[in-house]
Amino acid sequence: MWLTDMQKIGVALTTFGAGFMMLGVLLFFDGALLALGNMLFLAGITLIIGPQRTMYFFARKEKMRGTVCFFGGILLVFLKWPFIGMLVEMFGFLNLFGDFFPTIIMFLRQLPFVGSMLSLPYIRVVVDRIAGSRTSAV
């Protein structure tokens, strides 16, 4: 399946958003970088899956705790509480996107260099625990 131009832009925005958030954390929770990263991340997700599916994803009843924490964390970052906001946001992020981790890890194991890195003895144990499996797939 090929990506449309809007989805390609969405992937770029999501990547830049994650990059700005990581940079904001590395620079001692710089509020401006974290806020910019959050906005780019949300815009990218919306472009990748579409506005209706994004609203449906965040509005599902079983994901409501994660949604409230995720957007509450973003609000705290905007209100100049970046450290606490990022903690709340990460809790919400894990609740919202935690179901995708096994799929992401299986995809990463297929990549040439990354797959061999994930198969190293001590890293494999951690990755298997994140993926929710007891044995390695490689």
| pLDDT tens digits, one per residue of 94-116 | 999 888 888 888 888 888 888 89
| CA pair distance 77, 83, nearest whole angstrom | 8
- Cα–Cα nearest to 99, from 53, 136, 70, 132: 132
- What are the tens digits of pLDDT across the range 9-36? 999 999 999 999 999 999 999 999 999 9
113-134 average pLDDT score: 84
Residue ranges covered by each domain of the chain? 1-59
129, pLDDT greater than 80 = yes
Q: What is the pLDDT of residue 134?
A: 47
